[in-house]
Amino acid sequence: MNRSSLTRFAWLSIAAAILTIGLKAIAYLLTGSVGLLSDALESFVNLVGALMALAMLTIAARPADEAHVYGHGKAEYFSSGVEGTLILIAAVSIGIAAIQRLITPKPLEQIGLGIGVSVAASLINFAVARTLLRAGKRYDSITLEANAQHLMTDVWTSVGVLAGVGAVALTDWERLDPIVALVVGGNIIWSGVHIVRNSVLGLMDTALPGKEQITLQKVLEKHTQTGVQYHALRTRQSGARRFVSLHVLVPGIWTVQRGHQLLERIEADLRHALPKVTVFTHLEALNDPASGDDMALDRVEVAPVDTPTKSIR
């Protein structure tokens, strides 16, 4: 699938954010609930996050060029990182508003109508979140997954807020509203930290997940035979693209053609085992001591050996 087509999901998220902001703002104005205000603020953050997702998905879809020979896939990590940061800012804003209302409680008004409007907004967010989550997993997009997780956090936030507003209506204990808002803020902080953490791991070229590492090792074990080994296996992920590099050691008496054919089979099997993977292999002689000098990221420096030279006449 063309990655540029993923922007349609960002447009869907933008439309949902605008609609839910309007509905939740109406619910807050009807009831005066700080819990519903916190819900509306998070939807505003959803809009900013969706706009950022649109921009980064557009950049990530660009093909590789001379300045970005590995493509632009890492742009998606900036989107999820910004969205996670915005979530944390929204959580702080919610906490400040809740503490003020906790100190000076205020009665809620038109609770039934406000709850009805907020439920409608939550149903919209739930439908869009499920759509984005499926698309994110299907197309391996951290941007869409982060946006979906944010929307699902918004849904659970709304459930908590509505429970708090309903509890106020039943008990007349006005401080329940800001207490629920504080709980909601704590939940939002957890979600924001999780999203930011995943973005940082991607930008830091973290190795592929353990499950995918096991898949790689199983493929390589099929090709490990008498006289054939591998080392210096390194992996990383850039957006939807995975990168794998390794050194394959074969007997020194093998011809270059035979070694190359083995590498072609290994690379083909790895591409079949993992989606969107780029494989780099390096052929080395098993019985050459120098083959063990470059197993680490930085090659071991070996003192030059003085050898007699012959003059050309």
Return the CATH number of the domain spanning residue range 210-292.
3.30.70.1350
Considering only residues 221 and 115, tell me which one the structure prediction assigns the higher pLDDT.
221
Kindly state the average pLDDT of the residues 230-252.
89
- Confidence category of residue 110, pLDDT binned at 50, 70, 90: low
- Which amino acid appears at position 234 of this protein? R
Q: What is the pLDDT of residue 35?
A: 63
For residue 130 the two structure tokens come to: 């499920």
- Beta strand 277-285 pairing with 241-250: parallel
What percentage of the chain has pLDDT greater than the value 90?
A: 20
- Band (308; pLDDT cuts 50, 70, 90): very low
Distance (Å, whole) CA 46 – CA 28: 17
pTM of the model: 0.66
At the second CATH level, the architecture of 3-203 is: Up-down Bundle (1.20)
248 Cα distance to chain centroid = 32
In this prediction, residue 244 carries a pLDDT of 95
Q: What is the pLDDT of residues 171-205, one digit of tens each?
A: 777 677 777 778 777 877 887 888 888 888 888 88
User: Sheet harboring 277-285: ordered strands across?
Assistant: 229-238, 241-250, 277-285
- Cα separation of 235 and 21, whole Å? 41
Q: How many CB atoms lie within 10 A of CB 221?
A: 10
Domain spans in the chain, listed from the N-terminal domain onward: 3-203, 210-292
**Mean pLDDT (whole number) for 103-113:** 66
CB 147 within 8 A of CB 10: yes
Q: pLDDT tens-digit profile of 124-138?
A: 989 998 999 898 888
